[in-house]
Amino acid sequence: MPNTFFITTAIDYTNGAPHIGHAYEKVLADAIARHQRLAGRDVFFLTGVDQHGQKVQQSAQKRGVDPAEFVAEITSLFVELWKKLDLSHDAWAATVENLHKSCVQGMLQRLWDEGQFYKATQSGYYSVRQEQFLTEKERGPDGEFGPEWGEVVEIEEENYYFKLAEHRDWLLHLIDSRTQAGNPLVVPDFRVAELRNAVEKLTGDLCISRPKSRLTWGIELPFDPAFVTYVWFDALSNYISFAGYDAQPGADLSLFKSRWPALHVIGKDILIPPHGIYWMIMLRALGFTNAEMPTLLVHGWWNISGAKMSKSLGNSIDPEVLVARYGQAAVRYYLLSDISTGRDADFSIERLEQRYNAELANSLGNLLNRTLSMAKRYRSGILRRMESPLAAFVQEKTTAYDAAMKSYQVQAAIEAAMEIVTRCNAYVEETAPWKLAKDPAQSDKLDEVLYTLSESLRIISILMSPIIPREADAIRAQLNWQVEASLAATQWGALPEGHQLGEPVPLFPRIETQE
Ligand code: MSP
């Protein structure tokens, strides 16, 4: 049993600027990682960039720059954005790094030595423009290859193939046994059937090489320098190469094994075939046991008015612009609360603004501000430790929050935390502390209200820390609660008798909406 919670994201292609879909995936993984840290686990959170391949080589060529220079430039956009979004990754996977290249070469060499690859000649129709072989599927209704393929020529090419199909029955069995054990290979489980159907249809092997005559921007095959490896073989390997793996027989894998297996957070478009088929079979061929197979957490897509976001449609949303305009808390909160993990959602600026104003500015921000202001006015910010009528409710919501986070239902977790906020605001209206303050006979009741609100806010700050970490810290600072956030610290009643609260400072300035 590894002692680390190992979480990865898909690594992003560096052939264009990051968009909101990339940002969502990273923030989702970050929230999960932060929750695990709160639960007291060691976490190894890995994210990065996918820098090789044909598309990157082509984009660099178009710009007339060296691919290395091209990827360095795009990579810096991702690096800067992740800083602005407060991602808490522990390691950075950039696939041009030597450590990664030599690990991948070790894997290739081992699979070659063990007879998992073979060399074969493929002949067929090849699109020069798209640089790929075409199959019958690509023919139009008139039987011809359409103009999108440009010049199509018949060529013959030698390549190396990975014996995928041999592992088909094993993979089917793995999928079924993981489901039976209540630990599905793919989460949410409605995607399991999709993967299983695809595996059942698996017949062909996987071409894992590209001749250097058409692609040089990749990792060279250690056993044949006339080829580089296919970009997916390279990219998928990041999950182990940056975690201390080494394919050499007899290598010391103790660090790696303390981390592995991982939870891979990926989008639905890269489940089949790369993660659900290629990656599982690559691991198996390298000798990973069934118990050492990872779990795939597959999220849905952010669309724009139901349509796919894409550069060519010109409708992609630049997270950089959103963060500059609304701040990272608004962006993180929106991306995590307005989509149900696994499903698609529509991106809407109006909803981002509305939800921020209603939930963060009006509900949470207001609760914090009125609590601290009243405590300051009526009690110089000093609390008495009182019994509370909300204690059981808060504990119940905390438990619901934790269960939702453990099953990666971040939206449901936020809802549970925000129900505490709503309940507290209603409690303020019900108890009307401004009236209690006028009546000396109600002095204990006033102390009970102030303690209840402060203690609830302390717990809310912990629950919200995976979602909006900076603001959660700021809440704790205003409460003058110096203890490090942890789930263990969500037990009701930690603020002691005589606790001195801090100064109220407005935390979530309202967004001026467009109307
Ligand atoms: N480089 C590959 C992944 C290699 S993993 C070993 C890749 N890159 S990508 O840049 O195209 O996509 C990166 C991640 O962003 C993928 O998980 C993808 O599903 C996700 N998203 C891309 N567009 C998205 C949305 N519109 N919405 C949500 N996620 C989306 O695939």
Residue 29: pLDDT band (50, 70, 90) is very high
Lowest mean pLDDT among 18-32, 116-130, 266-280, 349-363: 116-130
Q: Is 269 in the pocket of ligand 1 (CB under 6 A)?
A: yes
Q: Ligand 1 atom closest to Cα of 235?
A: 6
Q: Indicate if ligand 1 lies below 6 Å from the C-beta of 18.
A: no
Whether 25 lines ligand 1, by a CB cut-off of 6 Å, is yes
For residue 191, pLDDT over 70 is answered with yes
Is residue 380 exposed (0-12), middle (13-18) or buried (19+ Cβ within 10 Å)? exposed
pLDDT at 312 over 80: no
pLDDT at 515 over 80: no
Work out the mean pLDDT of the chain and round it to a whole number. 96
Nearest partner of 11 among 54, 56, 45, 47, judged by Cα: 47
H and E: helices and strands count for the chain: 19, 16
Q: Is 265 near ligand 1, meaning CB less than 6 Å away?
A: no
User: Could you say which DSSP state residue 159 is in?
Assistant: E
- Rounded-to-integer distance, Cα 195 and Cα 183, Å: 15
For residue 266, the ligand 1 atom closest to its alpha carbon is: 17
Residue 1 has pLDDT above 80, yes or no: no
Atom 19, ligand 1: residue with shortest CA distance:
267
State if residue 202 touches ligand 1 by the CB under 6 angstroms criterion: no
Specify the residue with its C-alpha closest to ligand 1, atom 10. Answer: 12
Structure-token pair, residue 361: 């500015």
Of all protein residues, whose CA lies closest to atom 13 belonging to ligand 1? 12
Q: What is the DSSP string of 205-270?
A: -EE-EEETTT--SSPEETTEEEEEE-HHHHHHTHHHHTTT---STT---HHHHHHPSEEEEEEGGG
Region 74-100: mean pLDDT is 98
Output the pLDDT for position 451.
Answer: 98
Ligand 1 site, residue 231, Cβ cutoff 6 A? no
What backbone phi and psi angles, to 5 degrees, belong to 280?
A: -60, -40
Q: Is the pLDDT of residue 103 over 90?
A: yes
pLDDT at position 306, please?
Answer: 86
- Work out the average pLDDT over 80-102: 98
Cβ of 342 below 6 Å from ligand 1? no
The CA 383 to ligand 1 mean position distance, Å, reads 49
Query: 46-78, pLDDT tens digit by residue?
Result: 999 999 999 999 999 999 999 999 999 999 999
Q: Is the pLDDT of residue 137 over 90?
A: no
Q: Is 162 in a helix, a strand, or coil?
A: strand
**Burial tier of 40 (Cβ tally within 10 Å: 0-12, 13-18, 19+):** exposed
Report the pLDDT averaged over residues 333-353. 97
**Out of 50-59, 158-167, 308-317, least confident range:** 308-317
pLDDT score of 514: 65
Pocket flag, ligand 1, residue 171 (CB < 6 Å): no
User: Is pLDDT of 311 > 80?
Assistant: no
Q: What is the pLDDT of residues 201-223, one digit of tens each?
A: 999 999 999 999 999 999 999 99
> Helices 168-180 and 192-200, interaxial angle, to 10°?
160
Angle in degrees, CA 309, 311, 314, rounded to 5: 80
Whether 268 contacts 312, CB under 8 Å: no
The pairing of beta strand 117-127 with beta strand 91-94: unpaired
Give the tens place of pLDDT for each residue, 491-514. 999 999 999 999 999 999 999 986
Task: Tell whether the model's pLDDT for residue 32 goes beyond 80.
Answer: yes
H helix or E strand, kind and range, residue 34: helix 20-38
Question: Identity (one letter) of the amino acid at 100?
Answer: H
- Where do the H-state alpha helices sit in 277-390? 280-285, 319-326, 328-337, 349-355, 366-379
pLDDT at 127: 87
Check residue 309 and give its pLDDT.
85
Residue 398 neighbours by CB under 8 Å, 6+ apart: 416, 420, 459, 463, 490
| Weakest mean pLDDT among 124-138, 263-277, 360-374 | 124-138
Q: How far is the centre of ligand 1, averaged over its atoms, from the C-alpha of 265 (Å)?
A: 10
Top pLDDT among 306 and 181 is at 181
Ligand 1 centre distance from Cα of residue 87 (Å): 17
Cβ of 234 closer than 6 Å to ligand 1, yes or no, is no
For the stretch 392-444, pLDDT in tens is 999 999 999 999 999 999 999 999 999 999 999 999 999 999 999 999 999 99
State whether the beta carbon of 10 lies less than 6 angstroms from ligand 1: yes
> Which atom of ligand 1 lies nearest, measured to the CA of 279?
6
Q: What percent of the chain has pLDDT over 90?
A: 91
